[in-house]
Amino acid sequence: MSKIKIMIDPGHGGRDPGAVANGLVEKDLTLTIAREIREVLLRNYDVLIRMTRDSDMFVSLEDRARLANSWGADYFISVHINAGGGTGFESFIHPHAAKHTGQFQACIHQGILGKIKARDRGRKTANYAVLRLTKMAAVLTESYFIDHVEDSKKLKEASVIKAIATGHVVGLQEMPNLRLINESLTPRPRLVKVYRLLVDGVQVGAYGERENVMAQVNQFLDSAKKIEVERVE
């Protein structure tokens, strides 16, 4: 059985710092988290890991996707920290991603939320370049808001950074053919029902809590022609 190939993508880098606030720089946080994900995976699984960058260097979005595609990665995880007013955790896949990518997102999303204390902002879709250009199952994670006072305090704690990284790994445990070599690792997360929100035929998010999906419905009531909510496993 061939080893699973996982490409880890620390967001931003080099001349692109990402979001900067409260004494934190996104590019530094994403690299630290990505390295921790790699370490935990290599310590506990029979797996092949590469990173789009392993230092403070600039890598274009196109090159990040090219690196994953040319290697033949099975999974692509782009690690980010959020900004722009808000709090909590959310994840993204491409709007036209295959069904198995949605399942991949669900596992990663629940794995992270099972490890950190954060508001669930939902499983969402976006036409981000690294999601659009990659040929494998690809997810982009946004853990906490760097410009939120309480979130930034958490991001300054080494234990929280480790928890974010471990959450990614716990989610990956659900992937087929990922062979565990350390049985002491955290048990697999239990998948739960989620609510998919479609606006005018396009999925705009998926949420584990009913109140979260209803809050999003209210935002589209005046502008959408058709709003659908589907409960899925």
**Assigned domain for 186 exists:** no
pLDDT of residue 48: 97
CA angle 129, 203, 5 (to 5 degrees): 45
Q: Are residues 86 and 10 in the same domain?
A: yes
Q: Are residues 198 and 176 in the same domain?
A: no
3-state helix, strand, coil in the chain (%, to 5): 35, 30, 35
Please state the domain count of the chain.
2
Residue of 216 and 70 predicted with greater confidence: 70
Domain that residue 200 falls in = 194-232
Of the listed ranges 64-73, 130-139, 215-224, the one predicted with least confidence: 215-224
Q: What is the token pair recorded at 106?
A: 């669900």
pLDDT of residue 233: 52
Q: Looking at residues 165-183, what average pLDDT do you find?
A: 85
| Among 77, 70, 65, 12, residue whose Cα is nearest residue 41 | 77
Backbone angles phi, psi at 127, to 5 degrees: -90, 50
Q: Are residues 200 and 112 in the same domain?
A: no
**What is the per-residue pLDDT across 94-112, written as a single tens digit (0 to 9) for each?**
999 998 999 999 999 999 9
**What is the per-residue pLDDT across 84-95, written as a single tens digit (0 to 9) for each?**
999 999 999 999
Burial per residue of 146-156, b for 16 or more beta-carbon CB atoms within 10 angstroms, e otherwise: bbbeebbebbe
**Assigned domain for 15 exists:** yes
Q: Are residues 23 and 90 in the same domain?
A: yes
**Assigned domain for 188 exists:** no
Q: What is the three-state SS of 27-56?
A: HHHHHHHHHHHHHHHHHHEEEEEEECCCCC
Residue of 213 and 173 predicted with greater confidence: 173
Q: Are residues 77 and 133 in the same domain?
A: yes
Class of residue 86 by CB neighbours under 10 A (exposed 0-12, middle 13-18, buried 19+): middle
Q: Are residues 42 and 80 in the same domain?
A: yes
Kindly name the residue from 90, 142, 183, 233 that is annotated as catalytic. 142
Does residue 230 carry a catalytic annotation? Answer: no
CA angle 38, 162, 204 (to 5 degrees): 85
Q: Are residues 174 and 214 in the same domain?
A: no
Q: Give the confidence band of 191 by pLDDT, cuts at 50, 70, 90.
A: very low
Dist. CA 71–CA 47, nearest whole Å:
14
For residue 52, is pLDDT > 90? yes
